[in-house]
Structures are given as structure tokens and as C-alpha cells.
Chain A
Amino acid sequence: MIARALPRSMKYAGVVAALLGLALLPLWVSNPYFLSVLTLAALYAIFASSWDILSGYIGQFNFGHAAFFGAGAYATGFLAPHIPVALVFAAGALAAAAFALLMGLPCLKLRGPYLSLTTLVFPLILERLAFTFRDITGGEYGLTIASPLSRIGLYYASLVLLAATLAVLLAVADSRIGRTFRAIGDDDQAAMAAGINTTRYKLGAFVLGATLAGLGGVLYSYHLRHVGPEMFGLFTSFQIVIMGVVGGTGTILGPAIGAYFLTLLGESLREIETFRILIYSGVLILCVMLFPRGLWGLGAIVGKLVSRAPSPGAAR
């Protein structure tokens, strides 16, 4: 597998370097708009990498990841005025995990496309509920949220959460649990024949990804200072899938890179708003056609070529 051709130590060193670079960036870049875009990119990187643990590793595409970070965001909307920030994060994570259990228990017994189709529906149900219970959700206007953090504070908070998310996900992905996820993704029935309780592992991956997304959802709503039903819209969830696919599924880091790439691309296209989705979709189609393993796979191929160049004879 190409993703595994990169030595693990090199991969971790790259992550640390990239995060340090992002942490130092505000020393040179003080433009608040750009900082806010980078905050958004970090949050999307949290959503996309947490999406990857079920969708990329086990191969069960979740088209409803917005249900989880939306749950975190609404939990913030309801609770932020009443309880300390630390408890808001806990509540956001718990709400998302609870939704993952609620969604996972009936869904994960389904195989193939049926799981994906079912996950698609959950955020739409939540969107309807947000409109229906307008007394507490604010209906289509949503809820306004006062952020306890400054812009720069939010930027660093999102980076810290991204670092923690990647650390947790990479630790899981590179462990025996992660290999079990891959095995289930390779062949569900063979995994069962090896004595692996596949339903439990799928549920575990679902809840883990949801919990991290829920934490991201809390920060997301602080960043937007608002939460509304549009968060549960189809495009919100699709965006995460697109970031994952463009970045390279089953790698954790690929989807995070995809999130940065597409967020920055999306913002740079803001001036030609009309064509944004068109260009966005074009990039997706090109990525799928040209690099089926995403930006991560492309990077791995380039990395391999570069490392091979000095001693072609040494290549396996």
C-alpha cells in the first residue's frame, strides 16, 4: 500500500513540522481574514480526518458526518451561555457520540451502499428538527453564540484540537485496532471468520470519529459565532467526503491535507462565487480520475521517486 510506503517516523515528523509551521504563521501573517480562513481550514481538517477512520479505513462511506459536528455546534448553542467552556466541549463530544450510537446501532449492520444511504438521511432529520423546534433552536435563524476566545485564540485552539485529533487518530490507525479496521474494510466476512466482532469495531470507529468531530463542532460554532440548520445541509456533509477523497482516504493525514487544500481553494474562488461549486466539483473529478489515491497518494508517489532517484538499484 502506497500510504504505508512512507516510513512512520517520517510521517510523524512531517505532521509536527506542518503544525509548527502553522503555529508560527501568525508571526508573519496578521491579516485577520486570512487567519480566519486558516482557522476554518483547521476545523475542516478535524472533520475530514475524523471522517476517515470509519470511511477510509473500514470503507463504509459516511455521507452524514455533519450530524456529528452539527450536534457539537448545537450543544454549544444551547449550553454556552449557561456552563463553563470546558463543559461545553464535553457536552459537544458527548452529544456527537450519542448520535453516533443512535445512528450506528441500526446502520452498521447494513452492508455496502445501504449504510452510506442511511447515513445521508440523519443530518437531514436533524435539519428538520432544527426547523420544527424553533423555540429552542431558533429555527432558520439558528442561535447566536458568544465566543470566549479572540480570533487569534480561536486559531490556536483549532490548531491544538487538530494536533490532538491527528495524534489520537494516527495512534489508533497505526495500531492493531487500525489494522483490524483495514482488515474489515478489505473483507468483512473474512474478518468475521478470524473471530473479529466487526459490528463492534465499526461502531467504535463511528463513535471515535463522531466524538472528535463533535469537539471540532464546538470550536466551529465559536468560530462562526452562530449555529443554524444549514449546518446539516447535504453540501456540508458532501464537502467532508470530497475533502477526504481529494486528500486520499484511509490515511488520516490525506483528508486533513485535502481539507486545507479545498478550503484555501474555495476561499480564493470567493470572488467568482457563481462558479465556486463548478470549479470545486471539477477539482474533485480531476482528482478521482488522475490520482485515485488522492493528494496523499500523489505525494507518496513523488516521495518514492525522489528517494529512489539517488540509488535506483536499491529499489525493491
Chain B
Amino acid sequence: MSALLAVEDLTKRFRGLVALNRVSFDVARGEFLIVIGPNGAGKTTLFNVISGFAPPDAGRVMFAQQRISGLSAPAIVARGLARTFQIPRPFKSLTVAETVDLARPSKAGAVFATLHGGHRSVVEHVLRLVQLWERRDEEANTLSQGDLKLLEVARALATNPALLMLDEPYAGLGPGEMARLTQVIKDLHGAGLTLVIIEHKLRELMRLAQRVVVLHYGEKIGDGTPAEISRDPRVLDAYMGGRGAVAHA
């Protein structure tokens, strides 16, 4: 299987700080990858560089065999790579349905082809998927934190991505919302969407994922199946004194 996403020697510096240091990994088409690492490990920076929100200082990002590093964020979305933000960034003057309707769908995506059946509009389809269809006419800024996170996912899905990157989608969710999100992730994975998710607090998700990449101080210190990662001495060492999420996984 050819890699859908190839991150090659990616380096990003902020003044003196090296946020990413020659990070490389591949993501195969249809794969479900989790990126973990202690706070400040460079996970969000990795997302920002891949999705075109921050230019890399060295290295490159290939997507579907084409170089995307250097393209603008909307151009990368048009190629079929979408992302969400850790802290929801709603369009506060728009309704839920309007928010999703504004997303510009890419032609490359996997979402609509497999999930968009029947006579439903893209908006209805995507909102039903995250269970926000009933709230479609509510203004985005009236939603709960959990619904805002799901609206983030819906907006990203409405761009019809081939690869979806979620930045800590579970942070700030209640138990019911977590279950909803997990179901959405299962559905999307089952439908063949390639997923890269930053999440290090949820053991359940670790069991769903096929591969885990571990970042620590901007460097990749682990890359393997969840079982391999949970035994990796370097990873355990990095988490020592931390949350211990991996050690118990």
C-alpha cells in the first residue's frame, strides 16, 4: 500500500526552540494513526505544519505523491487533507448548518463517496453523522463545548477529505459526548477514511488505532502498533512521572 501522507525530515523552530526535529513517518491510505506525546512535545505544531498553517523550516510533506508543504492552508484542504483545532474555532455569527455549508469540498475525498448516499445533502449527511442535525438552525456560539468539538469535526468532514487530522478531539468532552465521538471515528474509519488523531488520554482509542507515533521534545521516539508502543522502553521513559497513560494502556 502506498503512503497517502509522507512526512519527511520535518523541522520547525520557534526562535531558539526546536518544536519539531527531523520528524518522519508515513500514513497509509485507510490507516488510523494516533500521535501521542507529553504536553509540549510538538504534536499541534506537527499538525500546523502539515496542514499549511505554519511553514516548515526544513523537510517536506508529501500527500498523494505530491508535495504540499509550501501550499496555503485552503489549497491543502482542496487536495483532500482537513484538520480540526484543539480549541474549537466556531463561526460565531453563523448557524450550525451554515457553518458546515460554507466548507469547500475537495474532489479527492473519501467521505462523500462512501458515506454520502441517498438524497441527503452534504450538510444533512455530515450533521447527522455527528448528531447535530437537530440543532442545525442554532447559532454556533450557543452550543456546548462538546457540541462545538463535534461541529469542528463536521466542518472538516464537509471539506470531503481523504485524510482527516483531529487535534485532541476528546479534550473537554463529557462521557456521553466521548461515546458519540468514538462512534463517529469508528464509522469514518470503517468507511475507509484515513485518520490521524492527536490523543493521549484515551485508552479506548488506542485499541481502535492501527499505529501510534510518539513525539517527545519535537523528536519521534516511537512508531509502531499500540501493543509495541506500550512496551517500548523509550516511550515509557518519556512518560515516566507524566500521566502514565501509555504505561497502563
* Interface residue ranges, A against B (CB under 8 Å): 1, 4, 176, 179-180, 182-183, 185-187, 189-199, 250
Tally of contact residues, B, Cβ under 8 A: 31
Shortest Cβ gap from B222 to chain A (Å)? 28
Residues 146-205 (chain B) with a chain A CB within 8 angstroms? 155-156, 158-159
Shortest Cβ gap from B107 to chain A (Å)? 11
Contact in complex: B85, A193 (CB < 8 Å): yes
Contact in complex: A186, B91 (CB < 8 Å): yes
* Whole-angstrom CA separation of A244 from B103 in the bound complex: 29
* Interface residue ranges, B against A (CB under 8 Å): 51, 53, 72-75, 77-78, 82-85, 89-94, 98-99, 101-106, 139, 155-156, 158-159
Contact in complex: A193, B94 (CB < 8 Å): no
Contact in complex: A182, B91 (CB < 8 Å): yes
Q: What does DSSP make chain B's interface, helix, strand, loop or mixed?
A: loop
Contact in complex: A183, B94 (CB < 8 Å): yes
* Whole-angstrom CA separation of A193 from B156 in the bound complex: 7
Shortest Cβ gap from B229 to chain A (Å)? 29
Contact in complex: A193, B102 (CB < 8 Å): no
* Whole-angstrom CA separation of A182 from B99 in the bound complex: 10
* Whole-angstrom CA separation of A187 from B156 in the bound complex: 15
Closest residue of A by beta carbon distance from B84: A193
Closest residue of A by beta carbon distance from B100: A194
Closest residue of B by beta carbon distance from A199: B72
Contact in complex: B101, A1 (CB < 8 Å): no
* Whole-angstrom CA separation of A187 from B99 in the bound complex: 12
Q: List 9 A-B contacts (CB under 8 A).
A: A179-B102, A189-B85, A190-B91, A192-B77, A193-B77, A194-B77, A195-B77, A195-B103, A197-B74
Contact in complex: B104, A194 (CB < 8 Å): yes
Contact in complex: A187, B89 (CB < 8 Å): yes
A residues in contact with B53, CB < 8 Å: 189, 192-193
Contact in complex: A180, B102 (CB < 8 Å): yes
* Whole-angstrom CA separation of A199 from B91 in the bound complex: 17
Contact in complex: A179, B104 (CB < 8 Å): no
B residues in contact with A193, CB < 8 Å: 51, 53, 73, 77, 82-85, 89, 155-156
A residues in contact with B73, CB < 8 Å: 189, 192-193
B residues in contact with A197, CB < 8 Å: 72, 74-75
Nearest 8 A/B pairs, CB to CB: A195-B104, A195-B77, A190-B89, A192-B73, A194-B103, A183-B91, A186-B91, A187-B89
Contact in complex: B159, A194 (CB < 8 Å): yes
Shortest Cβ gap from A186 to chain B (Å)? 4
Contact in complex: B101, A176 (CB < 8 Å): yes
With contact pairs A192-B73, A193-B51 given, residues A186 and B104 touching in the complex (Cβ less than 8 Å):
no
* Whole-angstrom CA separation of A193 from B74 in the bound complex: 6
B residues in contact with A182, CB < 8 Å: 91, 93-94
Contact in complex: B90, A190 (CB < 8 Å): yes
Closest residue of A by beta carbon distance from B160: A195
* Whole-angstrom CA separation of A182 from B98 in the bound complex: 11
Closest residue of A by beta carbon distance from B76: A195
Further pairs besides A196-B104, A250-B93: 14, Cβ < 8 Å: A182-B94, A183-B93, A185-B93, A187-B91, A193-B51, A193-B77, A193-B89, A194-B77, A194-B155, A195-B77, A195-B78, A196-B103, A197-B72, A198-B74
Contact in complex: A186, B159 (CB < 8 Å): no
A residues in contact with B103, CB < 8 Å: 194-196
Contact in complex: B77, A186 (CB < 8 Å): no
Q: Which of A186, A189, A191 contacts B93 (CB 8 A)?
A: A186
Contact in complex: B51, A194 (CB < 8 Å): no
* Whole-angstrom CA separation of A199 from B93 in the bound complex: 20
Q: Which of A185, A190, A191, A198 contacts B85 (CB 8 A)?
A: A190
Q: Which of B72, B94, B106, B155 contacts A186 (CB 8 A)?
A: B94
* Whole-angstrom CA separation of A187 from B82 in the bound complex: 16
Most chain A CB inside 10 Å of its own CB: which residue of B53, B73, B75: B73
